[in-house]
Amino acid sequence: MTVSNPTPLTSDADWWRSAVVYQVYVRSFADSNGDGIGDLQGIRERLPYLRDLGIDALWLTPFYTSPMIDGGYDVADYRDVDPMFGTLADFDHMITDAHALGLRIIVDLVPNHTSSAHPWFQAALAAGPGSAERERYLFADGKGEQGELPPNDWESIFGGPAWTRLDDGQWYLHLFDPAQPDLNWRHPQVRAEFEDVLRFWLDRGVDGFRIDVAHGMIKADGLPDVGFNSMTTGQRQSELLGKGRLPYFDQDEVHDIYRAWRPILDSYPGGRMAVAEAWAETPQRLARYIGPDELHQAFSFDFLDATWSADSFRKVVDTALAESTIVGAPTTWVLSNHDRQRHVTRYGDGAEGLRRARAAALLMLALPGCAYVYQGEELGLPEVLDLPDELRQDPAFLRIGESRDGCRVPIPWSGELAPYGFGPEGSELSWLPAPATWRDLSVAAQTGVPGSTLELYRTALRIRRAHPALAITGGITWLETEPGLLAFSRTAGDAVLTCVVNLSGVPALVDGYGEPIVASQALTGQDAGHLLPVDAAAWFERR
Residues designated as active site: 212, 277
Which range of residues in 29-37, 100-108, 290-298, 311-319 is near Mg ion by CB under 5 A?
A: 29-37
H or E segment and range at residue 345: helix 343-346
- 39 interface partner picked from ligand BGC, Mg ion, none, CB below 5 to 8 A per type: Mg ion
Of the candidate spans 38-46, 99-107, 129-137, 228-236, the one that interacts with Mg ion by CB under 5 A turns out to be: 38-46
Q: Is 80 in the site for Mg ion (CB under 5 A)?
A: no
By beta-carbon distance, which residue lies closest to ligand BGC?
Answer: 73
Pairing, β 297-298 against β 273-276: parallel
Cβ distance to ligand BGC smaller for residue 108 or 323: 108
Question: Does residue 182 interact with ligand BGC by CB under 6 A?
Answer: no
User: Out of 22, 29, 73, 85, which residue is the one contacting ligand BGC (CB under 6 A)?
Assistant: 73
193 binds, among Mg ion, ligand BGC, none (CB under 5 to 8 A by kind): none
Q: Which does 339 bind (CB under 5 to 8 A by kind): ligand BGC, Mg ion, none?
A: ligand BGC
* Cβ atoms of residues 216 and 112 within 8 Å: yes
Among 15, 31, 336, 410, binds Mg ion (CB under 5 A): 31
Least distance CB 74 / Mg ion (angstroms): 19
| 35 near Mg ion (CB under 5 A) | yes
Q: How far is CA 196 from the centre of its chain?
A: 24
Using CB under 5 A as the criterion, what x/- string covers residues 39-58 for binding Mg ion?
x-------------------
Strand order of the sheet with strand 57-60? 297-298, 273-276, 208-211, 104-109, 57-60, 20-24, 370-374, 332-334
For ligand BGC, the closer of residues 154 and 457 by Cβ is 154
Specify the residue, 71 or 423, whose C-beta has the smaller distance to ligand BGC: 71
Q: Which stretch binds Mg ion (CB under 5 A): 30-38, 58-66, 356-364, 435-443?
A: 30-38
| 339 sits near ligand BGC (criterion: CB under 6 A) | yes
Residue among 334 and 460 whose Cβ is closer to ligand BGC: 334
Nearer to Mg ion, 35 or 339 (CB): 35
Q: Please give the Cα distance from 490 to 472 (Å, whole number).
A: 9
CA distances from 37 to 24, 32, 46, 194 (A): 13, 8, 15, 28
How many CB atoms lie under 10 A from the CB of residue 87?
A: 15
Return the closest-CA partner of residue 428 out of 160, 66, 14, 35: 35
CB 226 within 8 A of CB 220: no
Nearer to ligand BGC, 182 or 378 (CB): 182
DSSP state at residue 143 = B
- Closest approach, Cβ 431 to Mg ion, in A, equals 9
- Tell how far CA 529 is from the center of its chain: 39
**CA separation for the pair 360, 352 (Å, rounded):** 12
Q: Which does 110 bind (CB under 5 to 8 A by kind): ligand BGC, Mg ion, none?
A: ligand BGC
Distance CA 219, CA 185 (A): 9
Residues 6+ apart with CB under 8 A from 277: 210, 211, 212, 213, 214, 298, 299
Pairing of strands 477-478, 515-519: unpaired
Residues 99-118 that bind ligand BGC (CB under 6 A): 110
Distance from C-alpha of 398 to C-alpha of 392, rounded to nearest angstrom: 9
* 70 interacts with ligand BGC by CB under 6 A: yes
- Give the gyration radius of the chain's Cα atoms: 23
List the interface residues with ligand BGC, window 203-262 (CB under 6 A): 212-213
Distance of CA 77 to the CA centre of its chain: 22
Q: Residue 502 belongs to what H/E stretch?
A: strand 495-502
Q: Which of 145, 254, 137 is nearest to 184 (CA)?
A: 137
Three-state DSSP at 111 gives: coil
10-18, 33-41, 103-111, 363-371 -> range binding Mg ion (CB under 5 A)? 33-41
Q: Select the binding partner of residue 212 from ligand BGC, Mg ion, none (C-beta < 5 to 8 A, by kind).
A: ligand BGC
Site string for ligand BGC, 274-313 (x = CB under 6 A): ---x------------------------------------
Residues sharing a CB contact under 8 Å with residue 115, sequence separation 6 or more, in sequence order: 66, 67, 69, 74, 75, 76, 121, 179, 180
Tell me if 33 contacts Mg ion by CB under 5 A. Answer: yes
Residue 52, interface with ligand BGC (CB under 6 A)? no
Toward ligand BGC, which CB reaches closer, 250 or 277?
Answer: 277
Confirm or reject binding of residue 317 to ligand BGC (CB under 6 A).
no
Does residue 277 belong to the site contacting Mg ion (CB under 5 A)? no
Residues that bind ligand BGC (CB under 6 A): 70, 73, 110, 176, 212-213, 277, 338-339
Residues that bind Mg ion (CB under 5 A): 31, 33, 35, 37, 39
